[in-house]
């Protein structure tokens, strides 16, 4: 058959332009694609040879060979796979709609065969990546069993290609890329090695290349001959490891192998805290080995932090930063996911946002959370170590992952008024030890245990012997916005809104006392309200204070002092708002100010005392006061007056 020149179909030419100019973000992807196609071809003949051994033609030494010729400027990729006939070449490379791999899989499905070989991608698409780096591509192939002739296909990617019969002694495919002048780096040994290591290290067939090294001349006994010079020696080296640890049964993998693989993919020299190795079957099939590290990386909270799960499709590397595989609050997880049926679009580099990805994510998240729950239950020391490193990150999931909210709630730990420093309580444990009269789960947010432990908001709860959760991570302010209740117990911030701590009988008794106090202190409270009207929303008597004179309280849904600090630290605009000044009716200052007010309503000391109360409330919650110099002067004057 004479050489025939044909035009690419319109959609093929459009795809070529897309591939060459914009589809792939880095050019080195071309080699991954061609190696994957070669792996497919070997998969096919291995499968077909089960029913027809003659197809092997006496050669079952599977390999994919690379050859770089710097003088000619060519890179050659050769395989001993199934090969193609003339018609298959025309169909698979001349069109997009027809694909050798796609049709092969479809045929196997029609035959309902159980042990289909795992095939990668679509030949017709991956092959076009060659034109990103080559200005001419020559493909020579012969199908297994058709020894009479092979086929040669050639194109410069300009819209046409030639095809002709040719002689080829061995089955399989050879692709020669005539590299563009600015792509000659892909002929360097180190570059080829790095690409194979990165993308195709776990392909199950050896990827080999002839490597030439200069060696000193040796005698018959293998000793170096002094002054004998050097001689070039060429040996065939395998570039990939082929050791996809995740494909092996767990029973065959040692702890040392798991640790070695973790260090390889994470670049962390410490042992992982926990290893999760499992296979998912059914609607979505994939294998995974993921690790929970023993410590957080330095860039965990940086915006450009890369997630640590590597995505493979049938052992072929896709990306080390697949954001769709794990939610952001599990970004510390390291490992590998290898999918058998993940659909990819025309570029293996760009994943489709489809149901398969979501299924993998759902399964993976469920497995990680169940592992953490088991660790918390059976090995608390390990869980506390994990929580100390990654607790604040895990808490982010409460706000963003509604589907797993209940599981995440049970993983949370907090220090509390009933725990020693450094000891924790879970929400479940808190509820289990709530006294009979307690209705809500009480918590306080702040910057440290010391600041919340000594807070005036704690006084009434301490008197009632009610446990209060100390939420001292900045993220806790967002966590409690998402957890409104746990086991039908409402979560209540003790520095917001009203506190209802009393029984009905106690409430009636306190209401009666409060009414009497309002009558007694009503005048001075109105005066304080008027004096501080620009800074407080309201002045009222407190039911939460037993020792301190005053405190500032936010509305039920308002911003407390801690939230304002966090927003300012994040350079966020803090909305203007006033809080409520609560006064302790049993504190002596109320009698003192009332007596002063009744004696002389124009006494300037009343305004000073009102300012001091407000500043005192700010200081006890850890907020800055407006005029520190004036505050210290007033305190000094009081000290002098008290000493006379």
Q: Is 640 annotated as a binding residue?
A: no
CATH number of 507-558+570-643: 1.20.120.790
Per-residue pLDDT tens for 613-633?
999 999 988 888 988 999 999
**Architecture label for domain 245-388:** 2-Layer Sandwich (3.30)
DSSP symbol at 344: B
Helix (H) or strand (E) holding 124: helix 123-127
- The average pLDDT across 311-331 equals 83
The DSSP result for 245-277, as a single string, is GGGS-GGG--HHHHHHHHHHHH---SPPSEEEE
Q: Are 154 and 162 in contact (CB under 8 A)?
A: yes
Q: Is 92 annotated as a binding residue?
A: yes
114-123, 304-313, 428-437, 562-571: least confident range = 114-123
Widest pairwise Cα distance in the chain:
121
Q: Is the pLDDT of residue 172 over 60?
A: yes
Select the more confidently predicted residue: 180 or 14: 180
Would you state the pLDDT for residue 110?
Answer: 65
Q: Is the pLDDT of residue 113 over 90?
A: no
Per-residue pLDDT tens for 377-393?
999 999 999 999 999 99
Would you state the pLDDT for residue 346?
Answer: 39
pTM over 0.75: yes
Q: Are 196 and 230 in contact (CB under 8 A)?
A: no
Q: Is the pLDDT of residue 642 over 80?
A: no
Q: Is 127 annotated as a binding residue?
A: yes
pLDDT band at 471 (very low <50, low <70, confident <90, very high): very high
Fold agreement between 245-388 and 507-558+570-643: no
Q: Is the pLDDT of residue 121 over 80?
A: no
pLDDT band at 347 (very low <50, low <70, confident <90, very high): very low
**Architecture label for domain 413-493:** 3-Layer(aba) Sandwich (3.40)
Would you state the pLDDT for residue 118?
Answer: 53
CATH number of 12-215+231-238: 3.30.565.10
Would you state the pLDDT for residue 125?
Answer: 58
- The average pLDDT across 478-493 equals 90
- The average pLDDT across 571-599 equals 88
Would you state the pLDDT for residue 365?
Answer: 95
Would you state the pLDDT for residue 19?
Answer: 67
Q: Is the pLDDT of residue 323 over 90?
A: no
Would you state the pLDDT for residue 11?
Answer: 64
| Structural tokens at position 254 | 């040692």
Q: Is the pLDDT of residue 104 over 60?
A: no
Would you state the pLDDT for residue 260?
Answer: 86
Q: Is the pLDDT of residue 345 over 50?
A: no
Q: Is the pLDDT of residue 210 over 90?
A: yes
Q: Is 434 annotated as a binding residue?
A: no
Select the more confidently predicted residue: 574 or 479: 479
Q: Is the pLDDT of residue 349 over 50?
A: no
Would you state the pLDDT for residue 213?
Answer: 87
Could you tell me what percent of the chain has a pLDDT over 70?
89
Q: Which residues contact 284 (CB under 8 A, 6 or more apart)?
A: 339, 341, 356, 359, 360, 363
388-402, 437-451, 508-522: least confident range = 508-522
Instruction: Quote the mean pLDDT of the chain.
Output: 86
Q: Is 99 annotated as a binding residue?
A: yes
- The average pLDDT across 391-417 equals 93
Would you state the pLDDT for residue 103?
Answer: 60
Would you state the pLDDT for residue 124?
Answer: 47
Q: Is 348 annotated as a binding residue?
A: yes
Q: Please state, as a whole number, how many other Cβ atoms lie within 10 Å of the Cβ of residue 79.
A: 27
Order across the sheet with 536-541: list the strands. Answer: 536-541, 579-583, 550-553
Would you state the pLDDT for residue 107?
Answer: 62
Per-residue pLDDT tens for 513-553?
888 888 889 999 999 999 999 999 999 998 889 899 999 99
Could you tell me what percent of the chain has a pLDDT over 90?
48
Select the more confidently predicted residue: 298 or 621: 621
- The average pLDDT across 27-47 equals 90
Hey, where are the domains in the chain?
12-215+231-238, 245-388, 413-493, 507-558+570-643
Q: Is 79 annotated as a binding residue?
A: yes
Q: For residue 514, which phi and psi values (nearest 5 degrees)?
A: -65, -40
pLDDT band at 31 (very low <50, low <70, confident <90, very high): very high
266-270, 435-439, 461-465, 502-506: least confident range = 502-506
Q: Is 126 annotated as a binding residue?
A: yes
- The average pLDDT across 191-215 equals 92
Q: Is the pLDDT of residue 352 over 50?
A: no
Would you state the pLDDT for residue 348?
Answer: 46
Determine the Cα–Cα distance for residues 128 and 598; give it in Å rounded to an integer: 93
Own/partner pairs, 244-247, CB within 8 angstroms, 24+ separation: 244/202, 244/204, 244/312, 244/315, 244/338, 245/289, 246/277, 246/287, 246/288, 246/289, 246/336, 246/338, 247/287, 247/315, 247/338
Would you state the pLDDT for residue 409?
Answer: 95
| Sign of the dihedral through C-alpha 18, 21, 22, 28 | positive
């Amino acid at each position: 058959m004479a050489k025939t020149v044909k035009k690419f179909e319109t959609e093929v030419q459009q795809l070529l332009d897309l591939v060459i100019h914009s589809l792939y973000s880095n050019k080195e992807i071309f080699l991954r694609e061609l190696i994957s196609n070669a792996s497919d071809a070997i998969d096919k003949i291995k499968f077909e040879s089960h029913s027809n051994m003659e197809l092997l033609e006496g050669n079952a030494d599977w390999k994919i060979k690379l050859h770089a010729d710097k003088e000619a400027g060519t890179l050659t990729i050769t395989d001993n796979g199934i090969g193609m006939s003339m018609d298959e070449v025309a169909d698979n490379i001349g069109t997009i709609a027809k694909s050798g791999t796609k049709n092969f899989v479809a045929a196997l499905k029609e035959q309902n065969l159980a042990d289909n070989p795992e095939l990668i991608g679509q030949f017709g698409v991956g092959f076009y990546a060659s034109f990103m780096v080559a200005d001419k591509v020559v493909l020579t192939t012969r199908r297994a069993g058709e020894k009479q002739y092979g086929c040669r296909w050639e194109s410069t990617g300009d819209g046409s290609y030639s095809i002709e019969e040719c002689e080829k002694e061995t089955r399989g495919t050879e692709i020669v890329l005539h590299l563009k002048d600015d792509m000659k780096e892909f002929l360097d040994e180190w570059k080829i090695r790095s690409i194979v290591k990165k993308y195709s290290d776990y392909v199950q067939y050896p990827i080999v290349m002839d490597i030439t090294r200069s060696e000193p001349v040796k005698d018959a006994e293998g000793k170096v001959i002094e002054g004998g010079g050097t001689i070039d020696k060429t040996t065939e080296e395998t570039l990939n490891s082929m050791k996809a640890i995740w494909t092996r049964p767990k029973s065959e993998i040692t702890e040392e192998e798991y640790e070695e693989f973790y260090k390889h993919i994470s670049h962390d020299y410490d042992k992982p805290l926990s290893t999760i190795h499992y296979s998912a079957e059914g609607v979505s099939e994939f294998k995974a080995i993921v690790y929970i590290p023993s410590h957080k990386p330095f860039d965990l909270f940086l915006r450009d932090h890369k997630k640590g799960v590597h995505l493979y499709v049938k052992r072929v590397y896709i990306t080390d930063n697949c954001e769709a595989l794990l939610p952001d609050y599990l970004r510390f997880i390291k490992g590998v996911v290898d999918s058998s049926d993940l659909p990819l679009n025309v570029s293996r580099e760009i994943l489709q946002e489809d149901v398969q990805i979501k299924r993998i994510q759902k399964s993976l998240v469920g497995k990680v959370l169940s592992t953490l729950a088991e660790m918390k239950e059976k090995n608390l020391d390990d869980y506390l170590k994990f929580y100390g490193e990654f607790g604040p990150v895990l808490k982010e999931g409460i706000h963003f992952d509604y589907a797993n909210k209940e599981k995440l709630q049970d993983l949370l730990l907090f220090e509390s008024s009933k725990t020693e420093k450094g000891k924790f309580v879970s929400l479940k444990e808190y509820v289990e030890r709530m006294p009979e009269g307690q209705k809500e789960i009480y918590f306080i947010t702040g910057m440290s245990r010391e600041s919340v432990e000594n807070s005036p908001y704690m006084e009434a709860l301490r008197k009632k012997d009610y446990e209060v959760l100390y939420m001292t991570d900045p993220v806790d302010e967002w966590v409690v916005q998402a957890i409104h209740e746990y086991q039908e117990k409402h979560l209540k911030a003790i520095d917001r809104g009203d506190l209802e701590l009393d029984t009905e009988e106690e409430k009636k008794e306190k209401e009666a006392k409060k009414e009497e106090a309002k009558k007694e202190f009503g005048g001075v409270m109105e005066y304080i309200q008027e004096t501080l009207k620009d800074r407080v929303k309201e002045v009222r008597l407190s039911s939460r204070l037993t020792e301190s004179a005053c405190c500032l309280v936010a509305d039920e849904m308002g911003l407390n002092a801690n939230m304002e600090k966090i927003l300012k630290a994040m350079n966020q605009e803090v909305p203007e708002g006033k809080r409520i000044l609560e006064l302790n009716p049993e504190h002596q200052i109320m009698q003192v100010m009332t007596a002063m007010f009744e004696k002389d309503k124009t006494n300037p000391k009343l305004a000073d005392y009102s300012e001091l109360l407000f500043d005192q409330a700010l200081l006890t919650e850890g907020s800055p006061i407006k005029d520190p110099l004036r505050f210290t002067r007033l305190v000094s004057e009081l000290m002098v007056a008290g000493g006379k």
